[in-house]
Amino acid sequence: MSGEPARRRATYADIETLPDNVVGEIVDGELIASPRPAIRHSGVTSRLGIIMGTPFEFGQGGPGGWIILDEPELHLGEHVLVPDLAGWRRERVPELPDEPAWTIAPDWICEVLSPSTEATDRTSKLRIYANERVGHAWLVDPNLRTLEVFRLEGSNWLLVGAFEGDRKVRAEPFDAVEIDLALLWAR
């Protein structure tokens, strides 16, 4: 017996009490409260959403067939997660649901790393995404100017590409269109 009281598992009511300038998530029963992303982080996320949305959501210069959203709230079992970007194939989700949060796991997520969230993004959240059968995960580091691309193989993440700097790349599951990474880092 450790002598420590059992910790109460966080609930959605805990998220609702957070101030507006904080993003709340529940990971493994623990409330994770993070400040809203810094402007540079938000810039990378916004630019990537535009770059991906044009060909993959709107079908302009690309195949279409996706719903891509910034910071969707995901209710996945006991977890409440807010990835920076997420995408669902329209064959699975033909239209946006009229709900406050998603209960359908995405086909792709993107986490833009920051010093305060990187450890959770790389460990707990990737494990949860794997358990929920999210097919692809991207980790973008604006400070290192890198993109890591993972594909779910069985229950494990396989690194299928790591790119840095101002390269033009094709990255799963969006390899139908070349992405100019220099656009992400623009200031």
102 DSSP assignment = B
Domain parsing of the chain, residue ranges: 37-185
In the chain, which residues have pLDDT < 50?
1
Give the C-alpha separation, 38 to 150, whole Å.
Answer: 25
Which region holds residue 61: left if phi is over 0, alpha if psi is between -120 and 50, else beta?
left
Task: Give residue 2's pLDDT.
Answer: 58
163 φ/ψ angles, rounded to the nearest 5 degrees: -130, 150
- Reported as a single tens digit per residue, the pLDDT across 111-158 is 999 998 999 999 999 999 999 999 999 999 999 999 999 999 999 999
**38 contacts 90 by C-beta, under 8 angstroms:** no
**pTM of the predicted protein model:** 0.93
Task: Give residue 18's pLDDT.
Answer: 94
Q: Is the domain defined by 37-185 classed in CATH 3.90.1570.10?
A: yes
Task: Give residue 7's pLDDT.
Answer: 79
